Chains A and B, each alone.
Chain A
Amino acid sequence: MKDVLQKIKAEAIEALSSRDADLEAIRIKYLGKKGELTGVLRGMGQLSPEERPKIGQLANEVRSEIEELLRKKKEEYELRAFGISPDFDYTLPGDEVPSGGLHPITQMCYDLNDAFRSMGFEIFGGPEITSEYYAFDNLNFPPNHPARESMDTYWLEGHDSGSASDKLCLRPHLTGDSVRYMATHKPPYRFVYPGHVYRNETTDARHERAFFQYEALIVDKDFTFTAGKVMIKSILSKVFGRDVPVRMRAGFFPFVEPGFEIDMGCLVCGGKGCSVCKHVGWIEIMPGGTPHPNVLRAAGLDPDEYTGFYVNIGLDRLVMMRYGVDDVRLFHGTDLKFLKQFH
């Protein structure tokens, strides 16, 4: 009988060792009213009085051992979750999430919008087909400025001769919009005007016929160019998420006086010099300056009273530099494999 008890115990332990053992069935099989252990206890009457307490004690030990194992196994089960199998492969890839996105230039534009808006700038936009008057005349471009020639500007068929008001073109730059804004608002001004511009150029990795500019203009009674430098520095630092060194050097553009080329410290090498910055540590990112008195006059302002600061950021270039994109034509190339890299 002792052997029978040992066998029951061994069998129960064996049954409970399987990972997904059915605890209730095991309990019934061994400990239930008609269970095997109970069966042994029932047969105790046939034993000698000396054996009875020994076997009784042994049977109780076996019972409590099985009960203890059942309890532990139940605890173990409770720590598991429903609906998962033991061979669940947690290395499988997660489900794809929607991969739609904004164009990287839109992203850059929105980053700048957020930065400028945080400094109280309004966002403005003008027409993409403009008259020569707003493209050149009121921006202080001399009548024979090269930019006016068809080699640089897309003039419209049937609208390519006559007076500056009659001639229409795809805007070659955004600056005309600043006059449109000023003509319809009251100073002081603080606004940005991003958008597409178009130049009749031969294209290559660095030249495109359609590209994106981002201009900002502040016009107030007293605004020195050094304040402009502070402004640019804070905008770029916000956009790029780190302190960005900025320098202003001599530059010339018809609609500013004085004019600057504004460089930012190369983000790739931190100013030490690398191939991206042609080993000078600085990257030319925007022209800027104080609006030319003629531009302010075209907007109906007295240039002795008002001054300001203007910058023109090439968004394509900024994105190229931000991500190391090496061909400007990719932006209008509509290749989704390219566009889907930017989030």
Chain B
Amino acid sequence: MKVSLNWIKDFVRLPDDADMKKLAYDLTMSTVEVEDVEELERRYENIVVGEIKEVLPHPNADKLRICRTDVGGEVKDIVCGGSNLEPGMKVVVACPGALVRWHGEGEPVEIKNAKLRGVESFGMICAAVEIGMEDLFPATDDHEIVDLSAFDAPAGTPIAEALDLCDYILEIDNKSMTNRPDLWGHYGIAREIAALYDLPLEPIPAADVSCDTPFDVRILDEERCPRYIGSRIEGLSVKPSPFKMQTRLWRVGLRPINALVDVTNYVMLAVGQPTHAFDATHIKDHIEVRRAADGEALGLLNDKELKLSSDDLVIADAEGAVALAGVMGGAKDSVLPDTTSVILEVANFESRGVRRTALRYDNRTESSSRYEKAIDPERCDAALSMALSIFRELYPEMKITAYSDKYPTKLVKKEIDVPLEWLDRRLGMRIPKEIVERKLGTMGFEVTYTDDTMHVVVPTWRSTGDVGIKADIMEEVARMYGYENFEASEITTSFDGAINQLDRDLVRRIKEYLAFRCDMQEIFTYPWMSDEFVAALTPSTDGILALSTPPSPTEKYLRSSLLPNICRAIVKNEHSFDAFDIFEDAKVFLDRDYTNEYPHESLPKQERHLGLAFVGRPENAERLFRRAKGVVGSMPRYTHMEGYTFERVEKPYWADEVAWLNICLDGKKIGDMGLLSRKAAVGCGIKVLTAVLVELDLDSLVPFKSRTNRFERVSDFPENTFDISFLIDSDAKWADIHDAIIGKKAEGDLLREVLFVDEYKGRQIPAGKKSVTVRLVIGSDEKTLTGDEIESVASGVMRKITHKLNADVRTK
């Protein structure tokens, strides 16, 4: 919302030299966020009133003229293409140094002396769009320049002074006052400033509304319309409003239209209460405020044709709807070019209904955005008074010929008891009573005391939901006293034991393990999945939750697995990298197992999962699988949790028929691992690379209660290694080879470990076979082994390989 400082000064006498920076700062700290303060005249530096003395033809251009123009003590030649140039006319002259927007387009440019078609021109005579004033001086053709002949200001007067633009405009962040219906007009902001600086606030004088003839107003829905004042005013006409009013409206962003409409807007911006004027001759018999009939038609002032709903509130006469209550007037029955009498509506509508209606038709207006903050019905009085006194000024002949104020249930002011001891305790200090009373008093609160309790009567304009409890009063006191004036207090809290959160620490250890030890990059994705990835990676959408208003039509499903979005990330990166490993820690959602962990709600299953992808070129698929198995397999050891095992229980839907494993803990499947099948990869649109995917239920992991390692005394005698390669059937499994070689381990066995070194298929290896190399670790706790002893262990192993595995030892 834009606020004019001059307008504020109508209501609170600010010192002339008030520091705007400080005012903006103080308002920001105590009340609303002032986003910007603009000194308006800065925009119009070096722009002055000029008076055209002579209009001469341009020697080189038919459409241009040379205007001999008085710019204040000097007459200058200015080349101009205006269509309405006349000697004696007052115009806007942008002198060298001024900023104008060329034909109203693009960024402002600085005016310099220039030759136009060979003729030297001093500055420029401006059209309205060039100085951003097209709303104030509407042009009838593209080449019309602004005619200031009606203004008194002599040539040379700065334009800001001539057009009453010496003002500061405060830009207030609307979001910072959604809870304050009282601030949506200049008077409300003035009240805050008065309280801030302890200045008196000017009252809005009450106008005489006496009239013996009642106007027939019928409120048929008192909940949605707590108050309606209808007045028939005659003796009016449609004419421009005084320039002073026009420029005020324009300065805060509204387009002046005509006096009748401008007055209603002016009152709204002054006191925050919307008003509306109907052409009285169009209102048949009476005004009724009622719900619309379903499908009832109404054409709005902005030319929208609506089919109404029965939830909409309308203003109607005997024949039908004439306005959408609180939102916008009807096109047919509002102020028209020949209007001479109006029905002036000053009414109060219930906030939520107005909001629903405005949103239903995507038709939010200055009026609806005020009503939806919950305006108090008492404010109608100030609005009516101000409107009538302006009408009387503009139309001395005007008469109120009928009047009615329907206000069936008066708004009750909130009353709050605030124990002083409580206030002091919460503020952390005692603020002197007289300061509390003065600040609250200026803001309209009535304060009395009984013993140690302060009784506060809340003004009507703060009683519609904004202020209702003692914490609100404390806030009013604290913010007006100044949050920065409170001494910082110490934090005093009790010690209640060390924080011990094993599960959270485990997740962090896992993520740090993956990132820093395993060289993987963490990613975040959205919780919704794209249909193509769902189809590629899940057998069906059964049991998957969906959004009713998804971000896009193909992204309605909420993730039931992390893998679809991880595959999407693979697609995103596969053209930038040959190989990469990524992981994500996030929630998945399933439409089952609803639980009531907390009172008043039953929620679907939500598990915290860990998803991993090891991505590389297809020829490295087996390496990727082993890398994935290594990262997952070593995770329990390095992150201090209960170990899990790799099993073959159920092939993941998306996995290759051979390269997959399940991850099991205590007999329960807690995760899957596998190489992406070709079908799944194609479905995802992964074109170049392949991936081994892992998904693990983080909630199932069991952290150790503290760092857990096993110490073994290191043998004093050297360990020896011995490598053996052998040819074996290509489908032989390492798990079987390992078991066959190591057999049942017994205390004192010299063969301590059998490690996998390598396997090889291909050239020089017969078809159907592979070469496997194992490493024997041989040692004793009692002595250094001799070569013969080592040989003998190795020979034993070779015999086992030959006989038990039916393999062919190649080398040693």
Interface residues of A (CB under 8 A from B): 98-103, 105-106, 110, 117, 119-123, 127-131, 133-134, 138, 142-144, 146, 149-151, 154-158, 160, 164-165, 168, 170, 180, 183-184, 188, 190, 196, 198, 200, 209-210, 218, 220, 222-227, 229-231, 247-252, 257-261, 290, 292-293, 303-304, 307, 331-337, 339-340
Residue B580 interfacial (CB < 8 Å): yes
Q: Of B355, B465, B472, B551, which one neighbours A146 at CB under 8 angstroms?
A: B355
- Measured CA separation A290–B179 after assembly (Å): 17
Tell me if B474 counts as interface (CB < 8 A to partner A). yes
Comparing B46-54, B392-400, B522-530, B660-668, the segment that makes contact with chain A is B522-530
Query: Does B711 count as interface, using CB distance less than 8 angstroms?
Result: no
Residues of B close to A231: CB separation below 8 A: 491
B587 touches A128 (CB 8 A): yes
Q: Tell me the interface secondary structure of chain A in the complex.
A: mixed
Q: How far is the CA of A258 from the CA of B515 in the complex (A)?
A: 42
A103 & B524 in contact (Cβ 8 Å cutoff): yes
List of B residues within 8 angstroms of A200 by Cβ: 549, 551
- Write the nearest CB–CB distance from B348 to chain A, whole angstroms: 17
Q: How far is the CA of A168 from the CA of B495 in the complex (A)?
A: 38
* Smallest CB separation, A243 vs chain B (Å): 14
* Cross-interface CB contact of B469 among A188, A226, A230, A293, cutoff 8 Å: A293
Bound CA–CA A70/B753 (angstroms): 51
Q: Is the CB of A154 within 8 A of B598?
A: no
Q: Please state if B493 and A220 are interface contacts (CB–CB under 8 Å).
A: yes
A250 B522 Cβ-Cβ under 8 A: no
The distance from the CB of B79 to the nearest CB of chain A, in whole angstroms, is: 39
Give 6 CB contacts A-B under 8 Å. A106-B522, A129-B603, A150-B549, A156-B548, A200-B549, A292-B471
Whether A183 contacts B599 in the complex (CB less than 8 A), given A100-B519, A336-B576, comes out as yes
Given contacts A103-B524, A157-B548, contact A184 B356 (CB under 8 A): no
Among B84-92, B478-486, B644-652, B685-693, the stretch that binds chain A is B478-486
Q: Are A100 and B489 within 8 A (Cβ)?
A: no
Whether the pair B493, A190 counts as a contact (CB closer than 8 A) is: yes
- Is the Cβ of A117 less than 8 Å from the Cβ of B600? no
Asked whether B527 lies within 8 Å of A210 as measured between CB atoms, the reply is yes
Please determine whether A134 and B598 come into contact, CB atoms closer than 8 angstroms: yes
Q: Are A170 and B499 in contact (CB under 8 A)?
A: no
Q: Are B549 and A339 in contact (CB under 8 A)?
A: no
Cα of A261 to Cα of B526 in the assembled complex, Å = 29
B401 at the interface (CB under 8 A from A): no
| Besides A110-B508, A337-B576, 4 new A-B residue pairs in contact (Cβ under 8 A), listed by A number | A127-B606, A226-B428, A249-B29, A252-B179
Q: Are A340 and B521 in contact (CB under 8 A)?
A: yes
Asked if B340 is at the interface (CB within 8 A of a chain A CB), the reply is: no
Task: Report the bound CA distance from A190 to B425 in whole Å.
Answer: 20
Task: Identify the closest chain B residue to A128 (Cβ).
Answer: B587
How far is the CB of B4 from the nearest CB of chain A, in Å?
22
A325 CA / B547 CA spacing, docked (Å): 30
Interface centre among B475, B504, B518 (most CB of A within 10 A): B475
Nearest 7 interchain pairs by C-beta: A258-B475, A98-B519, A224-B428, A131-B601, A334-B569, A144-B352, A100-B519
* Nearest residue, chain A, Cβ from B497: A120
Q: Are the CB atoms of A131 and B499 closer together than 8 Å?
A: no
* CB <8 Å contact, A336 and B573: yes
In the complex, A336→B60 CA distance in Å?
63
Let me know if B483 and A248 touch, CB within 8 A: yes
Whether B556 sits at the interface, judged by CB under 8 Å, is yes
B591, chain A: closest CB distance, angstroms? 8
Q: Name the residue on A nearest B549 (C-beta).
A: A150
Given known pairs A100-B521, A183-B598, A252-B176, the reply for A257 and B472 (CB within 8 Å) is yes
Alpha-carbon distance between A336 and B689 when the two chains are bound, in angstroms: 16
Is A157 touching B556 in the complex (CB atoms < 8 A)? yes
Across-interface contacts of A183 in B (CB, < 8 A):
598-599
Chain B residue numbers with a CB within 8 Å of A120 are: 493, 495-496, 499
Closest to A195 in B: B587
Binary interface profile of B, 427-441, with partner A (CB < 8 Å = 1, else 0)? 110000000000000
Evaluate contact between B589 and A209: CB separation under 8 angstroms: no
Determine whether B800 belongs to the interface, using a CB cutoff of 8 Å to chain A.
no
Q: Are B422 and A304 in contact (CB under 8 A)?
A: yes
Task: Please tell me if the beta carbons of B426 and A123 are within 8 angstroms of each other in the complex.
Answer: no
Interface residue ranges of B350-381 to A (CB < 8 Å): 351-352, 355-356, 359
Evaluate whether A155 and B598 lie within 8 angstroms (CB atoms) in the complex, with A106-B522, A226-B487, A250-B32 already known: no
Please, which residues of chain B bring their CB within 8 A of the CB of A332? 524-526
Choice from A110, A188, A224 contacting B426 with Cβ under 8 Å:
A224
The answer to whether B604 touches A168, judged by C-beta atoms less than 8 angstroms apart, is yes
A128 to B546 alpha-carbon distance, docked (Å): 14
Q: Is there contact, CB below 8 Å, between B600 and A165?
A: yes
B536 within 8 A of A: no
How near does chain B come to A278, taking the closest CB pair, in angstroms? 8
Partner of A331 from B425, B521, B524 at Cβ < 8 Å: B524
Chain B: minimal CB distance from A157 (Å): 4
Chain A residues near B521 (CB-CB < 8 A): 99-101, 336, 339-340
B488 touches A226 (CB 8 A): yes
Are B548 and A160 in contact, with the CB atoms below 8 A?
Answer: yes
Q: Which residues of A contact B549 (CB under 8 A)?
A: 150, 154-155, 200
A222 and B428 CA atoms in complex are apart in Å by 9
Cβ–Cβ contact A250 & B519, under 8 A:
no
Residues of A within 8 A of B527 (CB): 128, 170, 196, 198, 210
Contacts of B572 in A (CB 8 A): 333-335
Counting chain B CB atoms within 10 Å of each CB, which of A155, A164, A210 scores highest? A210
